[in-house]
A and B are shown apart, each in its own frame.
Chain A
Amino acid sequence: MLPLFMRSIKFIVGLGFIFVLFLALVGTITGLIKEPPQKTAEEEFHHHPKALALKSDGPLGKFDNQQLQRGFLVYEKVCASCHSLSLVSFRDLQQIGYNEAEVKKIAKDWAVKQPLQDPKAGTWGERDNLPSDRIPKVYYPGTGTPPDLSLMTKARHGGAAYVYSLLTGYEETQPAELLKKFPGAKTPEGSHYNPYFANLNIAMPPPLTSDDQVTYSDGTRATKDQMAKDVAAFLVWTAEPTMQTRHSAGLAVVLFLLIATALGYGAYLSVWRGVKH
């Protein structure tokens, strides 16, 4: 009796798992029949990001410093009052073409100051920002904390295209079709309808409200669309300032490896010459 049991234990275990899976399968199918899944408002009305072409796109993309500076200006004048950029240091701005003096001035004039504790009194004051400081955290007194933007283009599907679509995607009123199908999905008080946002209703009011909200120094017309593009491009840079270095290093590395591997293949052929395998 025992040897037979030992020999068939694999079948018992296997059939056991299969039986429980069969029960689960029956449960899933009856659940599906009893309550057919219904699409939610998000599933039906959420839009995928619009197409956006940037110079930094693709495996060999490079940054366009002019655009990054325009994007920084939009960030500084529009976004920075609520959103921090706490992984970026002021000194990093030299990488997008500002000189040392300009960076010093940007840091000094920054509206949010660095907190500073008086070591003797233990009281808190503040001081001006230095180029070595990270861009300070914003403590927002309203409802909810606006997310830090340093990594925003890496932290959302679609990246820069998502940021661009969100900024230009606000709609004054919800589509009539949505309210007809989902009467409960009315945009709550204080939220704003935006089909590019995951749950369609975003707390942030439209930040880019009119053309020429900021003044570009390079002659580019600051349309809403242009500002959204520029700030999206800037946030690609903040998410990975070393991206361009990565691309150019990668080109050299892969070229080197292709040559080395070709030589390696030659060595392999020559070692094995005359040996059938």
Chain B
Amino acid sequence: MSFPWARHYEPKNALTQWIDSRLPLPRFVYNAVGAGYPVPRNLNYFWNFGVLAGVALVVQLVTGIVLAMHFHSSAAGAFDSINGTIMRDVNAGWFLRFAHANGASMFLLVVYIHIFRGLYYGSYKAPREMVWLIGVVIFLLLMATAFMGYVLPWGQMSFWGAQVITGFFSAIPVVGEWIRVWLLGGYAPDDAALNRFFSLHYLLPFVIAGAVILHIWALHIPGSSNPTGVEVKGEQDTVPFHPYYTAKDGFGVGVFLIVFSTLIFFFPDYLGHPDNYIAANPLSTPAHIVPEWYFWPFYAILRAFTADFIIPAKLWGVLAMFGSILLLFFLPWLDRSPVRSANFRPAYRIAFWVLVLDVLILGYCGGSAATPGVVIASQLTAAYYFAHFLIIVPIISRLERPKPLPNSITEAVLGDKGGSRMTETALSA
């Protein structure tokens, strides 16, 4: 779909006309991310993060494909092929390896900001529920891919991380242990597990790329949301994606690459764990098994459940950890407020920032050793996490009195923030 005032692709010369009449791919791109896609004029920098996630995906694909050419997928050879061959002998292998390892962190970082942008500005609400649902699917695929990628270097954290994560499945009653052995292809992670993780780690990014296309497709039906949450009412509310947002995204990509390069070239091991520079040893368990930083909040939720109640504590932990992500699927129906942007929802805005703080504390807890203080903090913050989505947001969305909305994006941009004056477009809409 597009707005009626969207510009139309006009092939200028014989060649482009010839292509357009046979395979209108340039037209498709023009309408998707070119001048043919009208976008609200008031998007702030938080709207850069979708494009940044796309850039991160491409970086991961390119570096990953080259790394796979040198990687030796076996329990005996994996650690050596990365820390020996790739890091020392492959041309710029150290760059590929550090770019790929830190690229995962950058990818998850921009995706987290992208998700919280959606939470703040109510981007999941009608008519964009499908965009949000596909987004949650992408997030799940991303987490699976990141986990399996982390296993591939076959260091101590790789091995014990695989042991812990596949151990979740043994929490399933009756058939759990059987499923775990089936998933691993053995009683403990070894060649069979490493090879299937490698195979899936190579496959899933392409599945993600496919889901990203669906995500963008679903977005282009209603068009992009914006910081006011007010729908586009007329041509004056939008600008063409190109050159306006290609220019803005270009700047955003530059900033992203500066941060990314600083990590790769100057602090490549900052986000990693020293134990993963020790080759996997099934006979020696690390003192603290810690996942990568982007899993910390979920790891904290898992560890917060320490009491058996009807079902074992471990199963509660696993259910809650998966539940904490799966409940995002229901968010469009948990938050019934018709107002999208938290800028006009005073109570929701407070709840949002408390949630941000809550997730940060959960993250801190997940990255720390499980001392009683940390466990208590994660129990309280995990409880708040569920309360936020399942209790607080549904109640707020019923009781809250939103502030008056601007009549249009243009009105908001030009400075009339209140709802006092009706513009001509608003009246005609």
Contacts and interface: CB of A to CB of B under 8 A. Distances in A.
B88 A14 contact: no
A183 to B, nearest CB: 24
B231 interface: no
A271 interface: yes
Interface string B287-312: 10000000000000000111101000
Interface residues of A, number: 62
A272 interface: yes
Nearest to A19: B309
Contacts of B287: 198
Nearest to B253: A264
B261 A257 contact: yes
A66 interface: no
A250 interface: yes
A230 to B, nearest CB: 22
Contacts of A116: none
Interface residues on B, range: 35 or more
Nearest to B275: A155
B87 A254 contact: no
A262 to B, nearest CB: 8
B88 A87 contact: yes
Interface stretch (A25-33, A73-81, A98-106, A169-177): A25-33
A277 B413 contact: yes
Contacts of A53: none
B40 to A, nearest CB: 9
Contacts of B266: 59-60, 247, 250
B413 A24 contact: no
B250 interface: yes
Interface stretch (A107-115, A123-131, A205-213, A238-246): A238-246
B95 A265 contact: no
A94 to B, nearest CB: 13
A271 B267 CA distance: 35
Contacts of A260: 254
A272 B261 contact: no
A150 interface: yes
A275 B41 contact: yes
Interface of B, secondary structure class, is: helix
Contacts of A245: 94
B81 to A, nearest CB: 11
A28 B379 contact: yes
A254 B262 contact: yes
B388 to A, nearest CB: 9
A4 interface: no
A37 interface: yes
B391 A242 contact: no
B134 interface: no
B290 to A, nearest CB: 12
Given A18-B383, A28-B306, A271 B372 contact: no
Interface in A135-169: 147-148, 150-151, 154-157
Given A87-B88, A154-B277, A257-B254, A28 B376 contact: yes
A261 interface: yes
B320 interface: yes
B414 interface: yes
Contacts of B375: 28
A18 B248 contact: no
B190 to A, nearest CB: 20
A268 B307 contact: no
B383 A242 contact: no
A245 to B, nearest CB: 8
Contact of B250 (A89, A242, A264): A264
Contact of B42 (A27, A134, A277): A277
10 contacts: A10-B391, A14-B391, A20-B307, A21-B305, A21-B386, A23-B307, A25-B379, A27-B307, A87-B80, A247-B266
Interface of B: 41-43, 80, 83-84, 87-88, 94-95, 98, 239, 243-244, 247-248, 250-251, 253-255, 257-258, 261-262, 264-269, 274-275, 277-279, 287, 304-307, 309, 313, 316, 320, 323, 330, 334, 371-372, 375-376, 379-380, 382-383, 386-387, 389-391, 394, 413-414
Interface of A: 10-11, 13-15, 17-29, 31-32, 37, 59-60, 87-89, 92, 134, 147-148, 150-151, 154-157, 198, 239-242, 245-247, 249-251, 253-254, 257-258, 260-261, 264-265, 267-268, 271-272, 275-277
